[in-house]
Amino acid sequence: MKRLFSTAALFFLFTASVFAITAQQEQLIVNNVQAIFSQAELVLPDTSRVPRLCGMSTILEAKLHFDELSPSAQAALQPLLSARPVRQKIYDTPSGHFRIHYDTTGSDSVRNATIRNAQGLPVWVDTLARALDSIWTKEVTQMGFRPPVGDSFYTPNGGNGRLDIYLENLGLGLGATFPDSVGGVLGNRATSFIILDNDYDVYPYNDPQSGIGPSGGMRVTAAHEFFHAVQFAYTAYGAEVVGGNLKPYWYEATATWMEDQVYNEINDYRQYLLFWFRAPALSFRNFSSDYFNPNPDVQNRVFRPYALGIYGQYLSKRFPNPSYGYSVVRRVWEQMATVTGFNLFSALDAALAPMGYNFISSLQEFYRWNYFVGAKVPLNAPDTLYGAEAAAWPSFELFDQVDSTSNYPTQHPEVFVPCISCHPTVIKFFCAPCFVNTVGFPCSTKCPPCRFVPYQPTNVSVINCVNDIEDLGASYLNLQNPGGGSFMEFALVSDTARPAPWFASAVGYNTGSRTYTFLSNQATDPSGKIPEVFFGDFGNYTEIVVMVTNSELVSSGAKRDSSAYAYSANVDSAAPPGVTQIVEGRPNPFRTQIDPYVKFPIDLDSLSGTWDIDLLVFSTSGEIVYQKNYELQGGFPYSETVNWSGRNGSNEPVASGVYFCKIIMKEKGTSRKVEKLSKIALIR
């Protein structure tokens, strides 16, 4: 295989790492790059079934650490990283956007090279050319993304300024997009070229049962890799770097999302979903390049960024308006282009702000959506959430990732055992049995002998422990109705040794009719608790599902750790009266770029009737800037929130400053009245 070296390419895209790599890390980088190009023995955990990967992330990782590699490793990788392949023939696509470089003989020969169209062009190349032109039309013309940066201003550039596509017999990689020249007049942007496999004779495309076929594999990979070239037209520096390790999960997630936007009928992304649904506790930010490690936990981390493409599907379906929809992902990339370096989460906040969301609130809703897939796709609204297509997805329950119970108070002896000696006011508990796990952590690290939780819900003697939920990860609780219970009491408290901001979203679900009702959203208070939440209509459902998200978002350089929480649930035939009250608004100060609303929780007692509620927002001069009327129906104890978005009655953002929020509650037909005045600092 011949390669033509680029003298114009600026080889290193990232600031040299201050973390010296080990010999083991160096060997992993060399093995990964060589495996992409079939220059190393390809021994994966299951060579017949493991999905193949995009090589772009491997290329970026190798370039990031190139200066740290030994001379022998540099010599082995430089021809692969800085040179373009030399092919026997070229073909310019009809649109004028692409030049395809291909062979018709030898190991890199295209599939069925002797089968040609009327013009003598191999049908495989002709099919690819048509696909590429169609992909450009979809991603650039229709969806409004930037076109890739042209490379006509330097040589070697494939012969002209078109985007060059090289067909090569790849190994681990299905394709790879190379950032070629960056910096200078390009700023954060990079030119690029793409290498695609020459025949896609690998699983799942060579398996007739997949229904995709080699041609389908070629199409979706072309859409994926082309979107990497589009991403480089925004920024080549947007990947997160943690401890010297590159984590381009957003690049891979949105490229996988794009596959389905262009070729919705192929559904190639599904092969990665099992790595998402069998490990919900892993962080949104996970990325691993340890491709050859057979440990299932490592494999979950390797393929999780591709499965994360369903977050893009959530954004598209949740905000389908032409002003949003595709544009949510596009606006994120537009925001990322404004900064040199990693700014994904602030970019997501900015893109979602017009809809009253931010990244964290969207993530919490995304995790809620993820429960209603597979056999849980709602029958009462099959076109809502992800739609009927999600019926073919795996689910958390398929991989035993849902903590289910029908015994109350909650008690799981195999997971939770109270310590023998307990202080009367402190619950002391540990997880058992405690095994040495597959990655070799000692028992005391994986499952500490005791935790101390200075909180105990009323009338509940047993608490259930849920361990090792990573930052921006989630867990799922299925609280089944045992029959005869019409009221449920639920509470949650964060582990004090590893505290995290937890968010619990509850949904009532009926398994027979597959109908669901969203019940409540609750976040832990400053003390780390979600006090008793009452579900007075538990008898209307066969189960209540609680999605619990670790909402901790830390900076790239900060220490990230998994956390744990304890929850309790109890069922009764009648609800206690409870208390009607208005709780202080939070967050305060209210930063509109971080939180979509300032929320005033309202607790109603079970003796309540219907309440008429007025929210009045005053400026410091006494002017009413916003007002809204609500009506809440009582009859059982539950919590609701009254929200203010920081806008006036004309839906215009108000200025930063101090505002007084007054809530007046009047119970209809009685003289009961509850009022509260809160002072809120609003910061834009």
- Measure CA 362 to chain center: 10
When pLDDT is cut at 50, 70 and 90, the band that residue 109 belongs to is: very high
Between residues 404 and 576, the one the model is more confident about: 404
Please indicate, yes or no, whether residues 500 and 478 belong to a single structural domain of this protein: yes
Instruction: DSSP for 352-417, please give it.
Output: HGGGT--HHHHHHHHHHHTTS-GGGS-SS-TTSTT-GGGGGS--TGGGT-EEEE-SSS---TTTEE
3-state helix, strand, coil in the chain (%, to 5): 25, 30, 45
**Is 299 a domain residue?**
yes
Amino acid 177 reads T
CATH number at residue 589: 2.60.40.2550
Please indicate, yes or no, whether residues 603 and 499 belong to a single structural domain of this protein: no
What is the structure's pLDDT at 325?
57
Instruction: DSSP for 270-330, please give it.
Output: GGGTHHHHT-TTS-TT-----TT---HHHHHHHHHHHHTHHHHHHHHHHS-STTSTHHHHH
pLDDT digit string, tens, across residues 455-495: 333 333 445 678 789 999 999 999 988 876 667 888 888 87
Number of domains in the chain: 3
Neighbours of 602 (CB within 10 A): 22
Enclosing domain of residue 267: 3-357
Please indicate, yes or no, whether residues 332 and 436 belong to a single structural domain of this protein: no
Please indicate, yes or no, whether residues 525 and 550 belong to a single structural domain of this protein: yes
Residue after which a domain boundary falls, among 334, 357, 380: 357
Please indicate, yes or no, whether residues 404 and 346 belong to a single structural domain of this protein: no
Q: What's the whole-model pTM score?
A: 0.79
pLDDT > 70 fraction of the chain, expressed in percent and rounded:
83
Residue after which a domain boundary falls, among 572, 590, 615: 572
**Is 450 a domain residue?**
yes
**Calpha distance 584→155 (Å, rounded):** 64
Residue 381 pLDDT > 60: yes
**Is 91 a domain residue?**
yes
**Is 421 a domain residue?**
yes
Please indicate, yes or no, whether residues 8 and 43 belong to a single structural domain of this protein: yes
**Calpha distance 384→352 (Å, rounded):** 20
Please indicate, yes or no, whether residues 566 and 613 belong to a single structural domain of this protein: no
DSSP tally for the chain: helices H, then strands E: 13, 30
Instruction: DSSP for 124-164, please give it.
Output: HHHHHHHHHHHHHIIIIIIT-PPPPBP-TTSSSSTTSSSEE
**Is 374 a domain residue?**
no
Mean pLDDT computed over 653-663: 93
What single-letter DSSP state applies at residue 607?
Answer: T
Buried b (16+ CB within 10 A) or exposed e, 299-328: bbbbbbbbbbbbbbbbbbbbbeeeebbbbb
CATH number at residue 416: 2.60.120.510
Please indicate, yes or no, whether residues 165 and 284 belong to a single structural domain of this protein: yes
pLDDT digit string, tens, across residues 61-103: 998 889 899 999 999 999 888 889 999 999 999 999 999 999 9
The number of residues in the chain equals: 684
**Is 666 a domain residue?**
yes
Q: For residue 28, what are the contacts with CB-CB under 8 A and spacing of at least 6? A: 289, 290
pLDDT digit string, tens, across residues 11-44: 445 544 445 688 888 999 998 999 888 765 555 5
pLDDT digit string, tens, across residues 627-647: 999 887 765 555 678 899 999
Please indicate, yes or no, whether residues 526 and 595 belong to a single structural domain of this protein: no
**Is 131 a domain residue?**
yes
Q: Where are the alpha helices (DSSP H) in 420-520?
A: 443-446
**Is 370 a domain residue?**
no
Which of 188-192, 458-462, 543-547, 669-673 has the weakest average pLDDT? 458-462
Please indicate, yes or no, whether residues 434 and 541 belong to a single structural domain of this protein: yes
Residue after which a domain boundary falls, among 572, 603, 630: 572
Please indicate, yes or no, whether residues 554 and 586 belong to a single structural domain of this protein: no
Please indicate, yes or no, whether residues 439 and 556 belong to a single structural domain of this protein: yes
When pLDDT is cut at 50, 70 and 90, the band that residue 497 belongs to is: confident
